[in-house]
Each structure stands twice: as C-alpha cells, then as structure tokens.
Structure 1
C-alpha cells in the first residue's frame, strides 16, 4: 500500500499531525485526471461570439456549463451581435449555456444615460442574461461627455449599481490589467504578457506614465466594492491581483461578499506555486468558497485587422478549449507535472481536495449567478 503525508495549513484543514497514513485516512478524497469529463464543471468566463455547435458539443461531452460574457470591446463584434449569438447559443443548449450582458459608455455623464442604461440592462435580463459586465475601459479608456476620464467609483454610476443590487443581479468587473502591464518587459513574470506588450507597446502602461497607475486603479476598485456592500461583485481575472495570493487574500478579507474568477491568470498562479506550492494550495483551500473556475476562452469571427489577443487565438477554437480545460484540471485537481509554455517551466499540480474542486468548478458559480445547482443540468445524470 502506498502512503503519503500531506502538509496542509492548520487554518484550512485541522489535522492532529501529518502522520504517515493511507491516503483515505489522511485527507478527503481527490480526483484524478481520469475524472475530468465525468465531474460537473462550469467555466464562468468565456466569450462566445460565433454560433458554434461544435463548442456546445465539446462542453456537453466534457461536463461543462459556460457563462459567455458580452463586452464593450472594440475588437469584438458589436454589442447587438454578441447578444444575438448568446441568445442563439442559449436556445440551443439552455441547460449548459448562460450569458452576461453589458452596456456601452457612449454619452456617460449626459442627460438620460442612467435611464437608458438601466432600460438596456433590464431588456437583456428579460431576454435571458444572468449578470452584467463592466470592462477595463472604465478607468483606462472611457471619458465622459466633457472629455474627462471615467473611473469605477464615479457617483454617476450609482443609479445603475443600485438597480443591480436591488434586483440581485451580479456585476462582473474587469478593472486594470495584470500588474505586468506596468512593469518593464524584463521584469514581467509570464512569457505571454512579455510577448504581447512587446508587440503592442500602445497597451504597455510602463511606457505611458501619464496614464493611471496600477495602484490607483486597484484603490478605486476597492472603494467601489466597499461603497456597494449589497452588490454581488465578481472581480474578473483574479481581481487583477494575480501576481500575489497574499494581496488577493487581503482583498477577499476586506470584502467578504466578493468573489473572483480565475480567467486567463492561471499562469500567474503557477509562477507563485513554482516558488511555494504549499502556499498557493493553502490559499485555494482557505478561500474555496470565493473562487470561480474560468478561462477567458474567446471565439470571435475571423478578422485580419483585429489586434492579436493575449493569449493568442490558435484558429482551432474547440481544440484550444479542450487543451486549456484539461491543462487547468491537471493543475488544480491532480499532482501531475506538466510543462507550462507561458512560464517555460514544468509545474506540479496542486491536487486540491475533491470538496474544494467541486466548489471552485461548480457550486460557487452556480450559487453566485443564481443558476440551478443540479449537476444533471450538465451531465444529465
């Protein structure tokens, strides 16, 4: 019989000692790589902007529900087109496909903006949307009708936010960028960030010191969350605190009603687990009720003129989705070692307990977005 000793923070799992015991006696059950397709899962942050039955089939076959998020992003299709695709995908697979709406910033600060925005949100919710997204253009791009930069804590958002909170509608907020965006290339921690900002210097904030600092954007986001304690708040992309599980823990402690998703930031966690695997693993266990599995997978119409994405699209979306989903499962659910190109390193998995995986991959998102918690919604079993 094989024996092992698991080192787990006492604050997370109370163990009398780290005795050498059979696995079944020392800790909760774990999943293996072979369990991937059988376990109900939800990817709580994708962008499906093409009607794609092949992706729906992959999600169904691999046990995934998804939340597709509409975004006021100039390199995506028009908002009406995004919404139309989302409704069509939802109609094709109502059990496993849900979507979030958004709103444009055009005319912010002008007469009637709040009323128009609320009316647009309500129409989208009536059409099937389950949440609202606010993008990083707030804080980094958008300006009001007088030409002033708009930040998330602007009180002119308050009527819209109060409306969401009163209706129990979650807000997904992408604020800022990876902290790498404000660092010189040679100090960036992931190859995908380094390559992207090298090729797109217009987006590399280190080169634009007149633009808002990373610290300012995080302070503004924190003020916003504190000012709206009744709002269901999801900090996309690990709340742009991807560089430090300590900083992220501080945010979650200060804002006990907030959650964060993992979208497009797994490699940043892997940088940290390379340095201290136990620390990252303990973070996941301690905050197991506050983390939503997500990828940021993006399926857009081909456009030779659109700037490259980070990470770049492969041109084979279904295969890319399966590869990302399987690699993430291997890292979170198993102890297996895999090579991670984004950090050019072999990374050991965290082997999170089965109960933690079930929350991060399923029940947290289903609860937060007020969706059916029944696993049969995806697996049919």
Structure 2
C-alpha cells in the first residue's frame, strides 16, 4: 500500500515542481523586465529631444523637406543612392544631389552610393564600376547600396538572372572592403512576396505587392525562390565575412527573429536595419512579445533604426512631413513603451517592447555611429 502511494505521490510532486518552476520563470521574467525598465526607459515626450539617426532614407531632389524635418526632431540621416529605374533619377544625378546636400548639411546629411549593371557583359565592367566608386568615395560616399534588381530583374546577354554571388561582383566588394566602406544590401523581398495577397502577414506588404505585381513572386513561379535569394546573399557574405555589412529590411528574414538571430550569428560583421519591417516584429509580438524583446536586447549592438522615407520630384510636402512624424512616433511608442497599440500595417493589437534606454540609444544612434564614424560633422 505504501509502495503504491509513493508511486502515485512522486508524479504529483514532479508536476507540482514543474508548475512552480514555470510560475517562477514567468515571474522572474516580469521582475527582470521591471528592473531593466524602471526609471530607465524613454517616454513619448522624450522623442523630440533624444539624438537619433535614420540609417535608411532616400532624397532624390534638391528639396529640403526631409532635412528640415530631421533637424526639427533631432534626427541625422543616411541617404542611400539606389539603382531603381525609372522611379529614381540616373545614378549621376542621384550622386550630384547627395553631394550637394552633404556639403550644405554635413551635420545632418551623410550618404552612400550605388552602381548600375549597365554594360554587365563587357569584360571591363567591374573596373568601370570601381572607378566610379573611387570618385564617389572621394566626394564623401560612405558605402554602397545593392538593390533587389540584382536577383529579381537584371539579366545577362544570355537571359540569365544576375545573382548577388556572381563572381563579377567579387572585385567590387573587395575594393569596398579595402576602402573601409560599408556594403548595404536589399536582397530579395519579404517572405510574404512568395505568398498570395490574402495570406500575407502585414498590410504594407499586401498594398505594395498589389501595386507592384512585377515584384510579387507568387505570380512568377519561373523566378528564383525566396530561398534562392537568401542563399545568394549569404554565399556572397561567405566570401566576404570581414566586410562591414548592413542587411537592410531585417535581412529579408523579417518573418522570424530566430532566423535573423541565426544570420547575425553566422556573419559577425553584419548588422540589420528595421526599415519598413518593424510591422513584422509587431506581428510576432502578438504571439510572443517576450521573445521579440529578448531578441532585440541580445542583439542590441547589431540592430539599426531606419524608415525608408523618400523625397521625390512629385512629393507632397505636407503629406511627407505628416507621414514622417506619424511613423517616427509609432515606432518610438512600440520600442519605448509597454502600451497596447495598433498600427495600420497590423490587423491586431500588440504591446510595446519598453526597451531600456541603453538599448534604444544603440538602435537609434550608437550603432550607426560605430559603423559610420565621423559621418555627421557637428
């Protein structure tokens, strides 16, 4: 009888211990978050006064809407040139505009350059690109941006898509490394791009791919897969592990903080920016806020704030200023408070992450300053 009682009692004790442990873990997580954030978090009212850097912006005109808005709200800008045809001006014009703004606003405006694939099949294509980059670096460019047209649009003379791990890029990336400049890459698209519109996880992707069906890969099964795009980018990085690299848009791994973490672990000189992908973290916060928060805290030295704002010839000034402030404040609220909130991009309520000030300062400023030292002259 005693033996049978012990057999019954032992499992019950084990279950009780597990429940107690789970309760303690949950309680300890809450206590840890409270101790991290008590009296050490920014508030909404702090937004305007905290120094900040947006590492992902586009200005293609001599207008100053974004520059003046940045000055008003304590932002500095990293403005990228991109090989986007025909939406953006020719590369020479993009660089001219950026050099002008940089000379006139060195305390706010820094920039990176880019190159086109024009003449790709010519044997000296890489040499010509390097000559252009030399001039751009001498004129103040701090790195280069490669865009999704590599892998999703541009083809060689035989009709084959040009992928980012093509050996013809090797001397270019080697030159950028030798010059101590930075490579920024928009590789592929969000994983949603390979899904039907109604299965996508965020509204901004539904809107973009509805309006740009040429980039909606679900409609183009003949094109490389999502995995093909990610692998090409990673193959390039395997050849350049010592290169300072920013994988913009959360490295196109926005759908999973576990995947982003694995990417950052694999490539120790890589960072990610959150431009136009913060909504994907918000979606994940709905299911497991603590996991998202833990990810950002663990990789706080590798995450950069960016927006992907752009100022073009046909930009409406009031709409741009209003949109910038709305996005800035929504992002700030998500990262700095624990309030329940909504966003146009997400079809459910989610809770802010309430990150410590030290983490927020890295995401919004310190990490960018380390990658681009002396970029913004005071």
Superposition deviation, residue 372 in structure 1? 5.4
Q: In 1, are the aligned partners of 2:76 and 2:376 still within 8 Å (CA)?
A: no
Q: Provide closer, same or farther for how the CA distance between residues 314 and 216 of structure 1 changes in structure 2, counting only shifts above 3 A.
A: farther
Matches within 5 A, 1:327-342: 327-342=330-345
Paired position in structure 1 for 2:71: 60
> How far did 1:22 drift?
11
Corresponding residue of 1:297: 309
The more displaced of 221-230 and 18-27 is: 18-27
What CA distance in whole angstroms lies between the structure 1 residues aligned with 2:209 and 2:130? 36
Equivalent position of 2:203 in the other structure:
191
Which residue matches 2:280?
Answer: 268
Q: Give, in angstroms, the shift of residue 25 of structure 1.
A: 7.9
8 Å contact kept, 2:190–2:253:
yes
Change over 3 Å in CA distance of 1:334–1:105 after alignment to 2: same
Instruction: Identify the match of residue 34 of structure 1 among 30, 40, 45.
Output: 45
- SS for the counterpart of 1:43 is strand
Query: Deviations 1:284-332 (Å, cap 9, x if unpaired)?
Result: 00000000100101111129xxxxxxxxx99721221111111111111
Change (3 A) 1:54 1:292: same
C-alpha separation in 2, matches of 1:191 and 1:348: 18
What does residue 70 of structure 1 align with? 81
Between the aligned partners of 1:269 and 1:20, the Cα distance in structure 2 is: 23
**How do 1:110-125 and structure 2 match up within 5 A?**
110-125=122-137
Question: Contact 2:82–2:113 (CA<8 Å) still a contact in 1?
Answer: yes
1:105-161 per-residue CA deviation (whole Å, 9 max, x = no partner) reads: 111131211111001011111111111011111111112244321111111111111
Q: Distance in 2 between matches of 1:202 and 1:22?
A: 44
More helix as a share of residues: 2
Note the residue ranges of structure 1 that are not aligned, 5 or more in a row: 1-15, 304-312
Q: Distance in 1 between matches of 2:317 and 2:230?
A: 32
- Compared with structure 1, are the counterparts of its residues 161 and 19 closer, same or farther at alpha carbon in structure 2 (3 Å cutoff)? closer
CA contact (8 A) 2:110 2:375 kept: no
| CA distance in 2: counterparts of 1:323 and 1:80, whole angstroms | 32
Give the match's secondary structure for 1:370.
coil
- Give, in whole Å, the separation in 2 of the partners of 1:22 and 1:206: 41
Q: What is the TM-score when the length of structure 2 is the normalising length?
A: 0.88
The alpha carbon displacement at 1:186 in A equals: 1.9
Structure 1 residues 353 and 209: CA distance shift in structure 2, 3 A: same
Q: 2-side partners of 1:102 and 1:327: how far apart?
A: 30
Please tell me whether the aligned partners of residues 69 and 100 of structure 1 are also in contact (alpha carbons under 8 angstroms): yes
The answer as to 2:362 corresponding to 1:350 is: no
1:371 matches 2:374: yes
Deviation of the 1:363 alpha carbon: 0.7
Q: Deviations over 1:150-208 (max 9, x none)?
A: 11111111111111111111000110001100011221001121133234333210111
Q: Pairwise mapping of residues 246-261 of structure 1 onto structure 2 (< 5 A)?
A: 246-261=258-273
CA contact (8 A) 2:52 2:76 kept: yes
Report matched runs for 1:94-173 at 5 Å: 94-173=106-185
TM-score, L = length of structure 1: 0.87
Instruction: Name the larger-Rg structure.
Output: 2
User: Which residue of structure 2 lines up, in the alignment, with residue 212 of structure 1?
Assistant: 224
SS of residue paired to 1:344? strand
Q: CA deviation at 1:24?
A: 6.4
Contact 1:262 1:292 in 2 (8 A): yes
Q: CA deviation at 1:37?
A: 1.1
Q: Aligned in 2, Cα 1:373/1:277: closer, same or farther, shift over 3 Å? A: farther
Q: What CA deviation, in whole Å up to 9, does each residue of 1:191-233 have, x standing for no partner? A: 1211332343332101111100001111111111111012111
8 Å CA contact 1:107–1:145 kept in 2: the answer is no
2:191 corresponds to 1:179 = yes
3-state SS of paired residue (2:346): coil
Distance in 2 of aligned mates of 1:22 and 1:190:
28
- Alpha carbons of structure 1 residues 37 and 220: separation in structure 2 relative to 1, 3 Å: same
Q: CA deviation at 1:20?
A: 5.9
